Amino acid sequence: MIKRTFVIDTAETNPWRNLALESFLLENVPPETCILYLWQNKHTVVIGRNQNARKECRAAELDEDGGFLARRLSGGGAVYHDLGNLNFTFLLPAADYDLGLQTEVILRAVRLLGVDAQRSGRNDIETRGRKFSGNAFYKTGNNSYHHGTILVNVNSAAAQKYLSVSQDKIKAKGVDSVKSRIINLVECNRAITIEKMKWAMRRCFNEVYKTEAGALTLENACEKLMLPDNFDIKKNIEDNYAVFSSDDWLYGKDPPFEWTVSGRFPWGGIEIRLLVKKNIIEDAAVFSDSMDVEFILALPDILKGCAFNEDSIGAKLPDTEASGDVVKLIFGGHDG
């Protein structure tokens, strides 16, 4: 039974740090305690634990535009986050996990701001038949969490841009995202803001759990979470951050996939087929009518062993216009 509640609200917008904090809270939530964690990510695509990053988003374009790719612990599909979205996480012992209560907090909060909302299936919350909140779940040891999004005023054009991958380029295994019609809450009530949504979530969290939630911070976390005085919270979070920001976590979880692109340039037409495992190009085949026979013949050996990113491939290719075209073609900059 939940007897104590806390709210932690972070100003951090780096998704890897936010996931690192979420993981710390999950590992250390005490018995009979529920924590509501409110957080935001800036310009980020977050994929589910078992998804193929390359299949779910335009990772190269996202990186080029200064965005982040993140992989969470929970399952489910890929989502786009910006500062028009509010993320929430309920962290609590698995024995006290109650999806109905947790979802009731969100429903009450949205209704408090004048928007009628309903739960749809297990994972979504909707209004006017369109989704504004997607939810995912995770359990480890004795603890669990339920987290998700609340779309207040997200840039839907950016979401479509980065979550759209040409399916004729990739043959891959993994869990696919389910596309749903989404809606921003400002379309229902222009007065809704992120701050108002946070206020409503706090108020309804107290109502549903019939407690007065205390403020949780990194400074008082040892006391509130009943951790030893010498517990190194900063190191714990930094260790988690190192995992969530690593290429091994982001791409090493990907099942192997085949990537095929083709295009035509002033120097000739070209088709490139790649086999990628754990973000490394294991095999490559190149077909072309280019007059530069030596360049085409050398390409497969150059590509094999490269990390599947623009910098790694660009560093191994000769400094020529054709090389630049090849890199752009592989990562979506040209369709011919």
- pLDDT class of 125 with cuts at 50, 70, 90: very high
Is residue 336 one of the residues assigned to a domain? no
Alpha helices, DSSP H, located in the chain: 15-28, 53-56, 59-64, 99-112, 156-162, 194-209, 221-224, 233-244, 247-250, 293-303, 310-316, 321-330
**Spatial CA neighbour of 309 closest among 317, 301, 298:** 317
pLDDT band at 176 (very low <50, low <70, confident <90, very high): low
* Per-residue pLDDT tens over the stretch 209-259: 999 999 999 999 999 999 998 999 999 999 999 999 998 899 876 678 888
Q: Which residue, of 204, 223, 250, is where some domain finishes?
A: 250
Of the residues 250, 273, 292, the one at which a domain ends: 250
Q: How big is the chain by its Cα radius of gyration, in Å?
A: 23
Minimum mean pLDDT range among 15-29, 170-184, 220-234 = 170-184
In which domain, by residue range, is 295 found? 257-330
Q: How many domains does the structure of the chain reveal? A: 2
Q: What is the DSSP annotation of 25-41? A: HHHHPPTTEEEEEEE--
**Sheet containing 257-265: order of strands:** 170-172, 257-265, 268-277, 280-288
Q: Please give the Cα distance from 176 to 78 (Å, whole number).
A: 8
What CATH number should be reported for the domain holding residue 151?
3.30.930.10
- The answer to whether residue 98 is domain-embedded is yes
Number of Cβ within 10 Å of residue 146's Cβ equals 22
Which pLDDT score, from 0 to 100, does residue 165 have? 59
Considering the domain architecture, whether residues 262 and 244 belong to the same structural domain is answered as no
- Binning the chain into helix, strand and coil, the percentages to the nearest 5 are 35, 30, 40
Torsion of CA 73, 76, 79, 84, to 10 degrees: -80
In DSSP terms, 140 is beta-bridged to: 143
The answer to whether residues 137 and 243 belong to one domain is yes
Give the up-direction half-sphere exposure of residue 65: CA atoms within 13 A in the CB hemisphere.
16
Edge to edge, what strands does the sheet with 68-71 contain? 68-71, 44-47, 79-81
Question: What CATH number does the domain containing 278 carry?
Answer: 3.30.390.50
Residues 48 and 195 in one domain: yes
Q: Are 74 and 166 members of one domain?
A: yes
Q: In the predicted model, is pLDDT for residue 170 greater than 80?
A: no
**Region 261-272 average pLDDT:** 91
Read off the pLDDT of residues 92-119 as tens digits, 9 standing for 90 and up. Answer: 999 999 999 999 999 999 999 999 999 9
The three-state secondary structure class of 101 is helix
Q: Give CA–CA dist 102/109, Å, rounded.
A: 11
d(CA 97, CA 76): 19
- Are residue 292 and residue 317 in the same domain, yes or no? yes
By mean pLDDT, which of 60-64, 86-90, 281-285 is the weakest?
60-64
pLDDT exceeding 70 applies to what percent of the chain? Answer: 93
Final residue in a domain of this structure, among 219, 250, 281? 250
Residues 234, 271 within the same domain: no
Do 85 and 211 belong together in one domain? Answer: yes
pLDDT-above-90 percentage for the chain: 73
Whether 12 and 115 map to the same domain: the answer is yes
- Give the phi and the psi of residue 238 in degrees, each rounded to 5: -65, -40
Residues 282, 283, 286, 292, Cα dihedral to 10°: 70
Range with the largest mean pLDDT of 193-197, 317-321, 330-334 = 193-197
pLDDT at 145: 98
> Is pLDDT at 178 greater than 60 in this prediction?
no
Task: Let me know whether 111 and 243 are in one domain.
Answer: yes
Based on the fold, state whether residues 88 and 236 are members of the same structural domain.
Answer: yes
Instruction: Assess if residue 335 is contained within a domain.
Output: no
The answer to whether residues 136 and 51 belong to one domain is: yes
CA separation for the pair 87, 111 (Å, rounded): 18
CB atoms within 10 A of CB 100: 8
Do 137 and 193 fall into the same domain?
yes
pLDDT for 334: 37
pLDDT at 179: 57
Q: In the prediction, which pLDDT does 173 show? A: 58
304: left (phi over 0), alpha (psi -120 to 50) or beta: beta
